[in-house]
Structure 1
Amino acid sequence: MSGAPTASERIADHVVSVDPAAAGEETVHAVARAFLDTFAVAVAATGDAVDVALTGYVAGSTGPASLWAGAGSASPEHAALVNGAVGHVLDYDDVTSPLRGHPSIALLPALVAAAEATGADGRRLSAAYAVGFEVMCKLAKACALDHYARGWHSTTTIGLLGATAAVGHLTGLGRDAVRDALGLAVAQAAGTRQNFGTMAKSFQAGACGAAALRSVALAAAGMTAAPEALDGGTGGFLRLYSTPEAAAALDAELATLGQSPGELVTSGIDVKKYPLCYATHRTIDLLLDLRAEHGLTLADVERVEMRANRGGLAPLLHDRPSTGLEAKFSMQFAVAAALLDGEVKLRSFDDEQVRRPEIQRFLPQVTATEDDGPPFPRWAEVTLHLADGSTLHRRTTVLRGSADTPLSDDELLEKVADCFGRGGLGEHTSTFADAVFGWADQPVRSVLARRLP
């Protein structure tokens, strides 16, 4: 083939150029944190309807890959499907800003399954994660804003492309096979925001990991795809899923692909403090602070006005939720729960908690609107109109748990312990966390074995 390399070829060149043993201690630790968080959130969803449905679906599947919310195993592709969905259903998994979505649930179910199948250690997995994260963020910076606004679930569309690059790196695919695997991933890239608040949203995340493994396996077996699958002018991913200008934007982003310090450092990972859509988190922080400072209860507040930057409320589809899944995408519920309970925890999203009369009565008293200014920097502000006639107002750009204001390891372990407790593994938190943080030179499969009693 002549002419300038396509986007898929440039990404493939990067994937095969990264030394699989080159992940430094900072990268290994960052990926260990990401895995511990993602795995714990899946454990917390043990017994969820999504877990039950998909575990039943793969019953009879055999293979070396662990099912995280239980003691079973399955083929890598089936394990990625189940683990990706179960790890996403609580909407408690990590986020990165460029993606407008969840990087680790796109990357880790496929990567961990592949590592278990190949015997890879934590350092090898960490290098592959960094490769996938880099690719994902470059693609996202080129197209995610418009892509997401059109209704695509960027975690599972752009995320699939990053996961395919990551698994290709872990398994040692050659350059042309990586290029073809990306084209095969484009053939499967799907997921809609219309499914937010339903089980299908988490299924989309599981399908993403399964598709990444499938794409790599088929490319390794010799199946080919169009080199222009990403940036082709007629029917490439960017043109179909975004705007004609996105190809030029990606060309510029790929000029810095792999340059130090890399996207894992510059974009970073945001760990979620609360188990619902990230678009609510700044508001919850503000409300919990005001509640504590002024001794407020829900009865003290007549109504709440909330505003955010343009695009900041796009995922929040449910203003009158009646189920836990719907409540995870409701600013109105987030406000009511924070003011009533003084916390927003996993138990807040049990259906009976969402349907409490005092919660349902307050939902119409919350308005949430977007500003018409620029989408960045992201911010939130709240105005509380109190029963005594006074008002309280506060605004923030800070997001606690974000890459800029990260949780400490101890704070992360508090979240992990809460998740493990809900999943029936509470007494094993420290043992498992120690194994994960020490996984650099240990086979991933042996680390996962430490999760069990």
Structure 2
Amino acid sequence: MGVTEKIARLLTNTGYEDIPGEARDIARDAILDCVGVTIAGSGETAVGILAEQVKAIGAAPQAGVICGGFGTSADLAAWVNGAASHVLDYDDTIALASNYNMHPTVPVLPALLAAGESVNSSGRDIILAYVLGLEVEYRIGSAIGAYTSALGWHPTPVLGTIGAAAACAKIFNLTVEQIRMAIGIAGSMAGGLTRNFGTMTKSLHAGNAARNGIVAASLARRGFTADSGLLERDYGFCHLFSAGQVKEPTISRSGKNWEIVATGITFKPYPCCRGTHPSIDAVLYLRNKHHITADQVAGIKCKTKQQTHRILRYDRPGNGLEAKFSMQYCVSVALLRGKVTLADFSAESLNDPAVCDIIPKISYLHPEEWEKENSLTQEVVMTLKDGREYVHRVDTPRGEPKNPMTPDELKAKFTDCARRHFSPAWINQLLEMLTDLESLSNISNLMKLLTYGTAVPAGKTDIE
């Protein structure tokens, strides 16, 4: 039995009660976090452009565009919502234990919410399909994720398209053979280039993965065909996205040790590329421990792997999207303001003379021996004008499963994101629904609230 069929059988044979409580708890936190960052991202320019494109298409409404105030087809809703969830780079990432990086939730959840709304899925349905979608992403990613990233592919849309298709296949209750077709279709729709980091197109990667996952599962549901063993065959998905290094991934787990628990999810405390977070943590630590102010600092050196600088390529960012991929900018903000927030990536913040004054003082070091470290080990060497030097190394940045954000911090993050569009009363209603997602017999009521907010059209005010 090939990997594609094994995955298909895992999907068809797994029910809600098969998912352990710890996995459900993590899933619930991840869903809350993703919905929050989607709300916050819905007002960004890139998302507005996509929403206008979708409105122009005029598809029959099946699912809502979050904070958009309108409905469209399920795949187009997932397209916009997927981009909104990723545009701020505030969404979760796979944990360090994976040895590569991707954003697991943003391809899967927007697809699930749109597909689920279109077929009146329950909260339990969403949690089950979400855990399964991540399981597929992680299992395939453990084999090819590092190769994919090194080749310049963005692992999020590569792996996420398959994960989204698998999750939607569960929502649509596809058969084993249909799931094999859905994975085969999705494999020919996957892709995204890291060269587009720091532009609107990076968020489009997540939107594409979510949309294509729905399309692949929907086509398979209607009888559309594809290669039935695309994951494992010559010139198939794994073979090509690893440049021939992997033909068939080894699936060692059988559903008893779920990846969402075993590997885990990292929640982001800062709205910027995860590669900046260890140095931000280090700067905040030194700043607070030694009561350092920006005007005391002569220079800061950030020790990282060379790959980190290849990703964080904007040494002098020209806009907020580039700033999220600038170590110099993010470290400058952390030193100057003692925090890194959504507001720090506005045009006003980017042009702050105090920030601009610090940026030239920050540089990289790439010691050869550091190439053997994990991808996020970083060390900050801070030299003061009076000659004092302080050093702090971070191996496990904040937000990792081994250094987690607390439940209260996750709720505070959600509230901060949601207040961009919702009143406190509506935020409390959303928190109640999302933290008790299993109790929802139909997620359509949740989606109405997320889509229409305080402007719920007549006849759509019942969110009980």
Superposition TM-score tier, normalisation by shorter sequence: over 0.9
- Aligned-pair RMSD on alpha carbons? 1.8
Of 13, 22, 33, the residue aligned with 2:9 is 13
Structure 1 spans left out of the alignment, 5+ residues:
none
Structure 1 counterpart SS, 2:448:
helix
CA-to-aligned-CA distance 1:196-234 (integer Å, 9 cap, x gap): 00001101110110000000011111111112322222x
Give 1:29 shift.
Answer: 2.9
Query: Which moves more between the two structures, 121-130 or 60-69?
Result: 60-69
User: TM-score under structure 1 normalisation?
Assistant: 0.94
Residue of structure 1 in register with 2:443 after alignment: 444
Give 1:265 shift.
Answer: 0.4
Residue of structure 2 in register with 1:112 after alignment: 113
Pairing 1:295–2:291 present: yes
CA contact (8 A) 1:196 1:329 kept: yes
Output aligned runs, 1:57-76, within 5 Å.
57-59=53-55, 60-76=58-74
Of 252, 270, 277, the residue aligned with 1:274 is 270
Residue of structure 1 in register with 2:238 after alignment: 238
Residue of structure 2 in register with 1:181 after alignment: 182
Give 1:282 shift.
Answer: 1.4
Residue of structure 2 in register with 1:167 after alignment: 168
Give 1:24 shift.
Answer: 4.5
Query: Which moves more between the two structures, 306-315 or 67-76?
Result: 306-315
- Distance in 2, matches of 1:232 and 1:303, equals 52
CA-to-aligned-CA distance 1:168-191 (integer Å, 9 cap, x gap): 112111011111111111111110
Output aligned runs, 1:140-151, within 5 Å.
140-151=141-152
Residue of structure 2 in register with 1:404 after alignment: 402
CA contact (8 A) 1:177 1:222 kept: yes
- Distance in 1, matches of 2:94 and 2:432, equals 25
Work out the number of aligned pairs and report it: 444
CA contact (8 A) 2:63 2:77 kept: yes
4+ runs deviating over 6 angstroms: none
- Distance in 2, matches of 1:276 and 1:175, equals 39
Structure 2 spans left out of the alignment, 5+ residues:
455-464
- Distance in 1, matches of 2:34 and 2:375, equals 27
Query: Which moves more between the two structures, 104-113 or 41-50?
Result: 41-50
Output aligned runs, 1:15-414, within 5 Å.
15-20=11-16, 22-59=18-55, 60-97=58-95, 98=98, 100-233=101-234, 235-248=235-248, 250=249, 252=250, 254-258=251-255, 260-309=256-305, 311-372=307-368, 373-376=371-374, 378-414=376-412
User: TM-score under structure 2 normalisation?
Assistant: 0.91
Structure 1 residues 313 and 428: alpha-carbon distance in aligned structure 2, compared to 1, 3 A threshold: farther
Give 1:409 shift.
Answer: 1.6
Q: What is the identity, as a one-letter code, of the residue corresponding to 1:141? A: S
- Distance in 2, matches of 1:216 and 1:274, equals 34
- Distance in 2, matches of 1:310 and 1:368, equals 9
CA contact (8 A) 1:94 1:103 kept: yes
Structure 2 counterpart SS, 1:247:
coil
Structure 1 counterpart SS, 2:437:
coil
Give 1:90 shift.
Answer: 0.4
Give 1:365 shift.
Answer: 1.8
- Distance in 2, matches of 1:405 and 1:224, equals 45
Q: What is the identity, as a one-letter code, of the residue corresponding to 2:123? A: G
CA contact (8 A) 1:62 1:74 kept: yes
Structure 1 residues 425 and 196: alpha-carbon distance in aligned structure 2, compared to 1, 3 A threshold: farther
- Distance in 1, matches of 2:121 and 2:21, equals 17
CA contact (8 A) 1:15 1:131 kept: yes
Give 1:306 shift.
Answer: 0.6
Give 1:30 shift.
Answer: 2.1
Structure 1 residues 424 and 302: alpha-carbon distance in aligned structure 2, compared to 1, 3 A threshold: farther
Q: What is the identity, as a one-letter code, of the residue corresponding to 1:129? A: Y
Q: What is the identity, as a one-letter code, of the residue corresponding to 2:263? A: S
Structure 2 counterpart SS, 1:305:
strand
CA contact (8 A) 2:51 2:68 kept: no
Structure 1 residues 269 and 425: alpha-carbon distance in aligned structure 2, compared to 1, 3 A threshold: farther
Give 1:375 shift.
Answer: 4.1
Q: What is the identity, as a one-letter code, of the residue corresponding to 1:341? A: R
Residue of structure 1 in register with 2:458 after alignment: none
Q: What is the identity, as a one-letter code, of the residue corresponding to 1:122? A: G
- Distance in 1, matches of 2:193 and 2:161, equals 14
Give 1:25 shift.
Answer: 4.0
Query: Which moves more between the two structures, 190-199 or 114-123?
Result: 114-123
- Distance in 2, matches of 1:371 and 1:216, equals 46
- Distance in 2, matches of 1:24 and 1:230, equals 27
